[in-house]
Structure 1
Amino acid sequence: MATNQRPTARDSWFAPLSIDLVLKVLYVTFLHPFVAWMVVLCFRAEHMAWDAMPIRVSIAYASIVSAGWILAAIDRRIAFGPPRNVDLSDEVIVITGGASGLGLLIAEIYGMRGASVAVLDVKELDNSEARGVAFYKCDVTDKAQVIKAAAEIERDLGLPTILINNAAIVNGKRLLDLDFDEIDRTLSTNLASHFYTLKAFIPGIARSELGGTIVTITSVLGELGAIQLSDYAASKAGVSALHRSLTAELKSSHPHIRTVLVTLGQLSTPLFHGVQTPSSFFAPVVEPIDVAKDIISAIDNGRAESIGMPLYARWVGWYHVLPLSLQKLARWASGVDTAMASFVGRRTAADKALAKKRPGVLIEKS
């Protein structure tokens, strides 16, 4: 059957090529200390004198690269402190919005690796046979349900040690087209629920001798805002501010608890079907598996961390340093205010049932 769909940048042969991929290759080759010093040794293996220009240049280059890695390690240690010890057989991981998407991916990986995993969601698991994953039906916007789920998890699995706040929704409407119920729902799910889960689970994490890790997933839109995403952007800005305040509080009251902030650009999820990135090279769409790898790496190594994906998500804070005229130019060049014009989204059966009660609401399992 013929279709009238136009090919997109993501369908082309060069779609996987991005600035993030280029940097990833550079970090394990020319920008890696081992490779840089190997160049020096290769020149020396050719019996080149130590004072020869190629040797001197390569030594200077290797020294600069090594110094960069050392300073980066010192910076992370000062910013985030020492890592905690992690033994997956003793960890109890709680994931909100974990019935599908990124949340379910992380849950399945940890379940297969021997950790105890609890998923909180209003819908059933996409994979009902996920090994090592316990499902707790819970609406995270309901304080009573969250408190009840926390008590059941502690009874069934033990004291929680890792909390991943992943659940979120998006309406995809202009502010004047939103009704009050939709606004309340977005702010409750995307922001207020974080307060509820943190209040419910941190006391248990604090009692655990293992320490703990709290992962917060937010969006670059919390820094930028965008047309048709006013409620979503406002909630994500609140989440980022909450995380930073919580991190400061825990450092003084519970220094054994680590915090991880994950700031994402456009995530490859059916929810954002139809939204086109203006540049697959400079603003590539992020795949859930890549996000999961970085989150799991931070948790496994017991590190506090600030993760930004793709590259521009790590530098988005500098946007506010630009003169206002350049900010306007950057918004035009990035297409942030036109991206939602092609927004389609995709609803599951559960989402359609919810839509009957709240027309226009689309569930995001990040």
Structure 2
Amino acid sequence: MDLRTLCSVLLLPLQILCCAVKAFVRFFIPGKRRDLSGDVVLITGGGRGIGRHLAREFAKCGAKKLILWGRTEKCLKDTCEEITLMGTECHYFICDVANREEVYKQAKVVREKVGDVTILVNNAAVVHGKSLMDSDDDALLKSQHINTMGQFWTTKAFLPRMLELQTGHIVCVNSILSLSPIPGTIDYCTSKASSLAFMESLTLGLLDCPGVGCTTVLPFHTNTEMFQGMRVRFPKLFPPLRPEVVAQRTVDAVRTNTAFVYLPWTMNALVILKCILPQSALEEIHRFSGTYTCMNTFKGRT
């Protein structure tokens, strides 16, 4: 082992410790937040649910322009009008992110009519809510195409210009189910796990790209119509998140350039437990919390 390699090996623990200390300090003393006044924000699935709350929060925090993408015009129009009344310029476009050609076409329209997107929020998602054997093949494909592949197309459409400008941010509204799957929603869990791997790889790939960052948000069950009917065993012990809280934490993570956010913070413990506990112990946790049967009452939308 040469001297340079030996020094690198000896310095690694110190570098890791330094990073841990910095992260600990930033948790209690947040750094300067990004000024959004020059940013053009595009939100997929921006017409309702978390997407609508994200639009409101970005507008409150002073974003220059907002662009909403989705499949339902009425929802997009209603949200767009609300944001406009708040005093922020807002546009909407009908776009199914599962359709690659449509994404590229609408991305070109956005650049021509609105300008360069500097913050891309991949929020669009669907859930089928059935077991594998009860699931329709087309519905399974739909989940993968929207929840996972849609991020490939949108990121490929907007990231190159961010790299040219040396300013930009890619956001993914993921789910804690990408790390801790449950029965009855195999399509959603699989697609979100793929989405998480995509964001982890992208985040590492952009480390040496000045001005361009990534944020992945992994929330617990959120109280929107998407997962309507889902019931955990102890709702007071494990209450669903409010969508406005998810939106606030997401925008704050963008402004502080935070790579990964677990909501609520107790989900960090779940990730740690999954790494150290045997499968049998994890199964007992699932039984206790009722996650094995929580989708039995599911009646949300796809």
Specify the TM-score bucket, using the shorter chain as the normaliser. Answer: 0.7 to 0.9
Letter in 2 for 1:233: C
Is 1:274 the counterpart of 2:234? The answer is no
Letter in 2 for 1:198: T
| Residue 127 of structure 1: aligned partner | 79
SS of match in other structure, 2:129: coil
1:157 offset after TM fit, Å?
2.1
- Distance in 2, matches of 1:84 and 1:91, equals 17
| Residue 264 of structure 2: aligned partner | 310
Letter in 2 for 1:90: G
1:319-339 deviation per Cα after TM superposition (whole angstroms, max 9, x unaligned): 132012211111111211110
The answer to whether the 8 Å contact 1:167/1:190 transfers is: yes
1:83 offset after TM fit, Å?
7.6
- Call closer, same or farther: CA 1:193–1:289 in 2, change over 3 Å: same
The answer to whether the 8 Å contact 1:83/1:304 transfers is: no
Letter in 2 for 1:173: K
The answer to whether the 8 Å contact 1:283/1:312 transfers is: no
SS of match in other structure, 2:145: helix
Letter in 1 for 2:81: E
| Residue 46 of structure 2: aligned partner | 98
Is 1:247 the counterpart of 2:210? The answer is no
The answer to whether the 8 Å contact 1:213/1:299 transfers is: yes
SS of match in other structure, 1:177: coil
- Distance in 2, matches of 1:117 and 1:242, equals 25
| Residue 162 of structure 2: aligned partner | 205
| Residue 178 of structure 2: aligned partner | 222
| Residue 63 of structure 1: aligned partner | none
Give structure 2 stretches of 5+ with no counterpart: 1-17
- Call closer, same or farther: CA 1:329–1:221 in 2, change over 3 Å: same
| Residue 220 of structure 2: aligned partner | 265
1:73 offset after TM fit, Å?
5.7
1:84 offset after TM fit, Å?
8.7
The answer to whether the 8 Å contact 2:80/2:90 transfers is: no
SS of match in other structure, 1:98: coil
Letter in 1 for 2:261: I
- Distance in 1, matches of 2:237 and 2:265, equals 8
Letter in 2 for 1:317: V
1:30-67 deviation per Cα after TM superposition (whole angstroms, max 9, x unaligned): xxxxxxxxxxxxxxxxxxxxxxxxxxxxxxxxxxxxxx
Letter in 1 for 2:262: G
Question: Aligned to 1:173, which of 126, 130, 135?
Answer: 130
Letter in 1 for 2:191: S
1:315 offset after TM fit, Å?
2.6
| Residue 138 of structure 1: aligned partner | 95
Q: With structure 2 as the length reference, what TM-score do the two structures score? A: 0.83
Give structure 1 stretches of 5+ with no counterpart: 1-69, 346-361
- Call closer, same or farther: CA 1:199–1:335 in 2, change over 3 Å: same
| Residue 23 of structure 2: aligned partner | 75
- Distance in 2, matches of 1:135 and 1:249, equals 30
Letter in 1 for 2:252: S
SS of match in other structure, 2:193: helix
- Distance in 1, matches of 2:19 and 2:271, equals 21
- Call closer, same or farther: CA 1:114–1:312 in 2, change over 3 Å: closer
SS of match in other structure, 1:308: strand
1:281 offset after TM fit, Å?
4.1
1:152 offset after TM fit, Å?
1.5
The answer to whether the 8 Å contact 1:111/1:133 transfers is: no
1:72 offset after TM fit, Å?
6.1
1:251 offset after TM fit, Å?
0.7
1:255 offset after TM fit, Å?
3.5
- Alignment root-mean-square deviation, CA: 2.4
1:189 offset after TM fit, Å?
0.6
Pairing 1:1-366 to 2, within 5 Å after superposition: 74-75=22-23, 86-111=34-59, 113-124=62-73, 125=76, 126-130=78-82, 131=84, 132-209=89-166, 211-252=167-208, 254-301=209-256, 303-318=257-272, 319-345=274-300, 362-363=301-302
1:313 offset after TM fit, Å?
2.3
The answer to whether the 8 Å contact 1:213/1:258 transfers is: yes
1:194 offset after TM fit, Å?
0.8
- Distance in 2, matches of 1:327 and 1:95, equals 35
1:265 offset after TM fit, Å?
0.9
- Distance in 1, matches of 2:31 and 2:67, equals 24
- Distance in 2, matches of 1:177 and 1:242, equals 28
The answer to whether the 8 Å contact 1:243/1:261 transfers is: yes
Aligned length: 273
1:332-355 deviation per Cα after TM superposition (whole angstroms, max 9, x unaligned): 11211110111122xxxxxxxxxx
| Residue 5 of structure 2: aligned partner | none
Letter in 2 for 1:311: W
